[in-house]
Structure 1
Amino acid sequence: MKKNYFRIVAGLGLVQLGLLSTAVRAQDTTRVLNNVVVTATRSPKKLSDIGRVVTVITSDQINRSQGKTLPQLLNTVPGLTFSGSENAPGISSSVYLRGASSGNTLILVDGFPVSNASGIDGTYDLNAFPIDQIDHIEILKGSGSTLYGSDAAAGVINIITKHAKGNGIKTSVQLVGGSYNTFNESVGVNGNINNTGIALNLSDADSKGFAGATDTTGSGNFRKDDFHQRAVSLNLSQKVSDKFSINGNLQTSYNKGHLPYGAFTDDKNYTYANTFLFGGLGAKLLVDKGALNFNVSQNTVWNHYNDLPNDANFQSYYHAGNIGRITNTEIVFNDNLGKYWDITSGADFRYNGTHQLSNYDTIQSVNNNIISAYTSLFFKSDIFHMELGGRYNHHSKYGDNFTYTINPSIFLAGQFKLFGTVASAFKAPSLYQLSSQYGNISLKPETTTSYEAGFDWTIINNTLTFNTVFYKRDTKDVIYFNSLPDPPYGKYENGSKENDKGYESELTLNLSNITASAYVAHVTGALTSANGTRSDILYRRPKNTFGASVNYKVIKTLSFGLNYKYTGDRVDQDFSTFPSTNATLKHYNLVDVHVQWQACKKMVLFGDLKNVFDEKYTDWLGYNTRGTNFMAGLKYQIN
């Protein structure tokens, strides 16, 4: 049973689903009220005009983070914990936004949802996304289900890939190497020729890694769990006329490597190989005062896992393969209705399908679909702004549900924004939860009601900002795994409820040669089981985090960066005992340093030293984390 469950978890696939959308630029700060963002409203709007919390990781910040993985970069965002980001390369990580459980943060690529149709809870593993293919990232905190549907209960992370920029074609190469025999190479071709735009990025990554599991025997002979990735991203755009354009997107990646048997346990022979293939086509038509967008995409992922017998653990041969498919079709309309009103309306159809086979259990070919229609009205008059939105969903298995958003805000003196939100959200049960050997076809969606209140204050225009937000989130019909004494030893059920609350504060500074920020975040939660038992434990999620970062431009061509994060005590489950017990993971501090030098007009040299003080800590019980490690490299613009 235990091994079976671990193999199922380890066998989760990844799904990539993305299309082109409007790429927006932001200043090199995380929160500035004159920044333009698209994720919160599905159309370009200034932060001062919307009452939502949106953090932007800019292209400059990403360029200074090429020695990091995407989870490591996201782990620096206030209120966001990327548990497992410092584990061995290739081991999955979990995103916890504002204390919500994994799977309640929706991941977008270029504005369109990606998830894992063959996974237990549909989560998307961002370890598979090369950071060198990303232009910038927008993070919407708080419910996003009205505009985006399922999984957006805690927020939305929108990864916006590199698109064509500038006239003429430019080519660049990047070479990076460092600890654990890690080497990354990438090539980018980008630009516009007349009315045609192209952005082609090829990435290659290899790492010998380190032992993924903790060696409690002290023998020191656990195998190094390696990681290998080949990835291609292609974005094409064609301006047909002044009012009509089309775009296409093709993404594929191949990942393989080794995994440990589980917590505290080595495995010399456990390998995986996963292939992801995505294709999308979109069209945009400008109308009198707005735009009509149509997009269709298809994503297929193949996952393969093999484990030959290992006498040290006496396990039998294991093999698993699964396929996940997602088709998404959507039409979105944005329009200015007059002096005071804007509208965003849309309809979408999403198909999910999977087939899974292993020598432990089999899921026959199963599928479901969800049809949705939504509208949000945006009102703006002098200092008062308001969003009112609703979404209707029809799911082929559980039926109908509805979500809403009420989001007023006041903008005073061009510097101070006061806002509040009451919104609902939902998370549909996954195909695995519905149809596996543990499945329950009668499952209902998890439903959430969230409340927010806060402010954004520009103390000095374009220089110093301060923001604080308080939030509360109540979730009912939480899907949980109910252990049973007889085969199949468990079943997914509705019945638990979760109540979370917390706050975040952030101060940012932007000068000509210094950018800096500091933040603090606090979250608490309580989970009440179906039988009424209450627990105040949010597994792997710290109550307290805080951090600071600074980037100093010494001279025009040389800059230094410093990043610090404190992660508080957490609780993890120890499955090495039966029944499982809880273990407290101690708090830890991480300090990273970055240096970047513009050696000449066409070449940039950079280096990252991470975990500078070699902090010893545990993110997941039974798994290793990275000690002091470095990455260094160069980027060269060929033409």
Structure 2
Amino acid sequence: MSSAFRPSPTHGRFLLSSCILALSLGAGAAQAQQIASPNLLPPVEIVTPRPNAATAQPAQTRTRRAARRPAPPAETVTAAPNPFPPVVISPTGIATSVDRVASSVSVVTQKDIETQQYRAVPDVLATIPGLNVVQTGGPGGQTSVFMRGTNSNHTKVLIDGIDVGDPSTPNGAFDYANLLTANVQQIEVLRGPQSGLYGSDAIGGVISVITRKGEGPARVSGTFEAGSFNTFNQNIGLSGSKDNVNYAFSVAHLHAGDVPVTPQQSLPPGQRAIGNNYDNKTISSKVGVDLNENLTINSVLRYTDALLYFTGDDFNFPSAPNPTQSSHAVQQFATREEAVWTALDGRIRSYFGVNYSNNNRFDRSPTSATPSSSTGDRLKFDWHTVAEITRGNNIVVGAEQQTDRLSSAEFVAQTGNKAGFVELQSQLADRIFVVANVREDSHDQFGNHTTWRVAPAVIVPVTETKLKASYGTGFKAPSLSQLLEKTLFSTGNPNLKPEESTGYDVGFEQPFFNDQVRFGATYFRNDITNLINSNTSFTSYVNVDLATTEGTESFVTARITERFGIRADYTYTRAVNALTGATLLRRPKEKWSATATWLPIDALTLSATVLHLGTWRDIDRSTFVNLDAPGFTLVNLRGDYALNDQVKLFARVDNLFDVRYQNPTGFLAPGLGVFGGVRLASYGVQ
């Protein structure tokens, strides 16, 4: 690799300047990482969170039933510092106190989703450090996420432990457009190479979505919202638990009927722009049954039916928007059926699961005589066992078998993968923690591939400074289209190798005033090889490209008073083609956000967010020529008022100053939007 892309003395300045800028912006609406409810199937909580230095107590093993219960939702602004550090699951597969974790992970809770009134997962991810969310217009438009400068297909996406990646897409990238937040309990964004635990796709990191789990008396909840762009958003849910059964059911509907997304300057003279029309219906369920003291059965089901009418392009050069609209219909189904066997009072817990996901896509264009369709199926059988060796030392051993299948009018393809992995989570001393894992994958096409990761963390006495680092490898298996495609225009290459990466990060977090204020910064770097691209004749695919991504992620949080908190995040990213030095597309160098939350009275919550993206390299929609896209700054306002325990009124303003921007270039993002509604909740009798 060229020395031009090796770390230089400027990296230290990047780290320092990032921290200084974050301090100047303010701090966050909550702690650096907020508490996560250990709801995820299949992980299990082994050890209680370690209290902070002021209230330190020996860690204790939880009982089997206590480990299964979810923690209460985290408040965005608390009256006093939380005596227990937040809990995260995705870094290790075991619910663990965040002060024992070296990984960079952000958690968005149900409380955050309600306070910020997020309707879809892309809205949630927009302010997360290290991510750039690119959506072609408004709701339902194709949505990609670039994590730490890696490609859009380099992030693994899980819903309740189900890998929902779509084998039918050409490059294997997940489209976030149709993922609603209606029944979401928490979202964890885990950054950095994670293939040692999660296998393919986890070069940039992992996004884990956890839906709500029923607990306590039966509860009926609902949200009803309306606003700009002919928007209607409704959802209703039923959840609870009784004796040995817990249950949660949800039905959600989002409609946006007139979202302008086509820039006027892109239209031929005299042609009128037609707004996007989007409709999404999602139903889901999560049920668990304790058959006896040692055996539990869990089931997760999720189905989405979405339809988008949008303005596509013709096939001329330069291209122009069509005068009539195209349509894109999606039906997505995902399920996990699982048995959990427990022994030795919860010290050993084994999971046996089967996951299945199905994605059907139907596209109709006025420039094509016939519609196109494709179906992607993913079936995975998995087993893993979590065992507590001694207090603070746990081992995870597991195996998987996965089959992917793609079916379209032009070809049918299938491939499989087997894998085994082992992980050690160890507390070497009271303030020294380390996680190490290794995984071996055996793919039907390219054979065996080994990945690993090690991540130590140290908490310094007296100052309570957390020093953290991680080093690991990642890979991305070629998609079925890239391997086995057979069409009139191109042919797959069955000899493709997986895309590979080596990455590391190093950083710190520093609390002050009993954690009333916390700030930190992390430097990261990824070197990616064997990137897959088209050959020179555009008739097949080859492993040809190299890339380097590096940067810093910095944050500051502060609880100014028991009723007012602020948070700021700053991300600097440099992502380049390591062969040419050219900047990679759609990776802005700078991104920052700041959120303030205020409770003037108990019943009223007010929030304001500022989000800024700097300039980035993009491609022109009509000429396909590279260009520099201008940055933008958005201001969003939120407010809700609780009439009583069961009824809450809410309102929000998106893009307060009606900023006109395009991300990606050629597609207008929504302008000023005003929305309002009511949230209802009622409790039955146990």
TM over 0.5, shorter chain: yes
1:375 aligns with 2:422: yes
Of residues 593, 599, 602, the one that matches 1:556 is 602
Of residues 191, 202, 208, the one that matches 1:141 is 191
Residue aligning to 1:567: 613
User: Which SS does the other structure have where 1:600 is aligned?
Assistant: coil
Residue aligning to 1:178: 227
Give the Cα–Cα distance (whole angstroms) in 2 for the partners of residues 388 and 84 of structure 1.
36
Given that residues 134 and 143 in structure 2 are in contact (C-alpha distance below 8 angstroms), is that contact kept between their aligned partners in structure 1? yes
Pair 1:267–1:114, CA change in 2 (3 A): farther
1:287 aligns with 2:287: no
Residue aligning to 1:89: 139
Q: Which shifted more, 275-284 or 470-479?
A: 275-284
AA in 2 matched with 1:541:
R
Give the Cα–Cα distance (whole angstroms) in 2 for the partners of residues 50 and 386 of structure 1.
8
1:295-346 C-alpha deviation (Å, 9 max, x unpaired):
11211122111224xxxxxx34241011110001111111111245311111
Give the Cα–Cα distance (whole angstroms) in 2 for the partners of residues 508 and 438 of structure 1.
52
Q: How far 1:211 sits from its partner (Å)?
A: 3.5
Pair 1:433–1:512, CA change in 2 (3 A): same
User: Which SS does the other structure have where 1:44 is aligned?
Assistant: strand
1:124 aligns with 2:174: yes
1:390 aligns with 2:448: no
Give the Cα–Cα distance (whole angstroms) in 1 for the partners of residues 225 and 677 of structure 2.
4
Residue aligning to 1:435: 484
Aligned residues: 599
Give the Cα–Cα distance (whole angstroms) in 2 for the partners of residues 590 and 220 of structure 1.
30
Pair 1:597–1:340, CA change in 2 (3 A): closer
Residue aligning to 1:542: 588
AA in 1 matched with 2:652:
D
Pair 1:601–1:316, CA change in 2 (3 A): closer
Give the Cα–Cα distance (whole angstroms) in 1 for the partners of residues 387 and 43 of structure 2.
17
Given that residues 107 and 114 in structure 1 are in contact (C-alpha distance below 8 angstroms), is that contact kept between their aligned partners in structure 2? yes
Given that residues 162 and 336 in structure 2 are in contact (C-alpha distance below 8 angstroms), is that contact kept between their aligned partners in structure 1? no
Given that residues 39 and 111 in structure 1 are in contact (C-alpha distance below 8 angstroms), is that contact kept between their aligned partners in structure 2? no
Given that residues 28 and 515 in structure 1 are in contact (C-alpha distance below 8 angstroms), is that contact kept between their aligned partners in structure 2? no
AA in 1 matched with 2:499:
E
The equivalences for 1:204-353 within 5 A come to 204-216=253-265, 217=267, 219=270, 221-262=272-313, 265-288=321-344, 289-308=347-366, 315-339=367-391, 341-353=393-405
Highest RCO, 1 vs 2 (Cα 8 Å, sep ≥ 6): 2
Residue aligning to 1:197: 246
1:410 aligns with 2:458: yes
Q: How far 1:182 sits from its partner (Å)?
A: 0.7
The equivalences for 1:8-27 within 5 A come to 27=74
AA in 1 matched with 2:433:
H
Q: Which shifted more, 366-375 or 512-521?
A: 512-521
Give the Cα–Cα distance (whole angstroms) in 2 for the partners of residues 243 and 513 of structure 1.
44
Residue aligning to 1:496: 545
Give the Cα–Cα distance (whole angstroms) in 2 for the partners of residues 25 and 138 of structure 1.
17
Residue aligning to 1:75: 126
Pair 1:407–1:21, CA change in 2 (3 A): closer
Give the Cα–Cα distance (whole angstroms) in 1 for the partners of residues 621 and 535 of structure 2.
16
Given that residues 225 and 260 in structure 1 are in contact (C-alpha distance below 8 angstroms), is that contact kept between their aligned partners in structure 2? yes
User: Which SS does the other structure have where 2:308 is aligned?
Assistant: strand
Residue aligning to 2:58: none
AA in 2 matched with 1:142:
G
1:113 aligns with 2:171: no
Given that residues 19 and 295 in structure 1 are in contact (C-alpha distance below 8 angstroms), is that contact kept between their aligned partners in structure 2? no
Residue aligning to 1:14: none
Q: How far 1:278 sits from its partner (Å)?
A: 2.1
Given that residues 621 and 666 in structure 2 are in contact (C-alpha distance below 8 angstroms), is that contact kept between their aligned partners in structure 1? no
Q: How far 1:138 sits from its partner (Å)?
A: 1.0
Q: Which shifted more, 152-161 or 63-72?
A: 63-72
Q: How far 1:567 sits from its partner (Å)?
A: 0.1
Of residues 92, 105, 116, the one that matches 1:65 is 116
If the length of structure 1 is used for normalisation, what is the TM-score? 0.90
Given that residues 91 and 212 in structure 1 are in contact (C-alpha distance below 8 angstroms), is that contact kept between their aligned partners in structure 2? no
Given that residues 66 and 131 in structure 1 are in contact (C-alpha distance below 8 angstroms), is that contact kept between their aligned partners in structure 2? no
Identity of matched residues, %: 23
Residue aligning to 2:33: none
Give the Cα–Cα distance (whole angstroms) in 2 for the partners of residues 106 and 599 of structure 1.
41
1:45 aligns with 2:65: no
Q: How far 1:24 sits from its partner (Å)?
A: 5.2
Pair 1:284–1:277, CA change in 2 (3 A): same
Greater fraction of residues in strand: 1
AA in 2 matched with 1:190:
S
Residue aligning to 2:672: 628
Residue aligning to 2:648: 604
1:521 aligns with 2:521: no
Q: Which shifted more, 426-435 or 76-85?
A: 76-85
Q: How far 1:154 sits from its partner (Å)?
A: 1.1
Q: Which shifted more, 262-271 or 185-194?
A: 262-271
Q: How far 1:246 sits from its partner (Å)?
A: 0.9
Give the Cα–Cα distance (whole angstroms) in 2 for the partners of residues 125 and 631 of structure 1.
25
1:480-526 C-alpha deviation (Å, 9 max, x unpaired):
12341xxxx43211021101110011011234212320111101022
User: Which SS does the other structure have where 1:490 is aligned?
Assistant: coil
* CA RMSD between the two structures: 2.0
Q: How far 1:28 sits from its partner (Å)?
A: 4.1
If the length of structure 2 is used for normalisation, what is the TM-score? 0.84
Q: How far 1:458 sits from its partner (Å)?
A: 2.1
1:356-410 C-alpha deviation (Å, 9 max, x unpaired):
12xxxx1x22111111111111221222211221100000111011001121221
Give the Cα–Cα distance (whole angstroms) in 1 for the partners of residues 434 and 682 of structure 2.
48
1:42-67 C-alpha deviation (Å, 9 max, x unpaired):
01111111211111111110112335
Give the Cα–Cα distance (whole angstroms) in 1 for the partners of residues 328 and 95 of structure 2.
41
Of residues 527, 548, 552, the one that matches 1:474 is 527
AA in 1 matched with 2:285:
L
AA in 2 matched with 1:336:
E
AA in 2 matched with 1:204:
H
AA in 2 matched with 1:90:
G
Mark the runs of 5 or more structure 2 residues left unpaired by the alignment: 1-39, 45-69, 314-318
AA in 1 matched with 2:401:
F
User: Which SS does the other structure have where 1:122 is aligned?
Assistant: coil
Give the Cα–Cα distance (whole angstroms) in 2 for the partners of residues 420 and 165 of structure 1.
37
Given that residues 73 and 111 in structure 2 are in contact (C-alpha distance below 8 angstroms), is that contact kept between their aligned partners in structure 1? no
Given that residues 25 and 36 in structure 1 are in contact (C-alpha distance below 8 angstroms), is that contact kept between their aligned partners in structure 2? no
1:427-473 C-alpha deviation (Å, 9 max, x unpaired):
10010111223421111000100011111222233422112100110
Give the Cα–Cα distance (whole angstroms) in 2 for the partners of residues 404 and 460 of structure 1.
38
User: Which SS does the other structure have where 2:196 is aligned?
Assistant: helix
User: Which SS does the other structure have where 1:440 is aligned?
Assistant: coil
Given that residues 235 and 253 in structure 2 are in contact (C-alpha distance below 8 angstroms), is that contact kept between their aligned partners in structure 1? yes
Residue aligning to 1:7: none
Residue aligning to 2:149: 99
1:169 aligns with 2:169: no
Q: Which shifted more, 495-504 or 285-294?
A: 285-294
Pair 1:350–1:316, CA change in 2 (3 A): closer
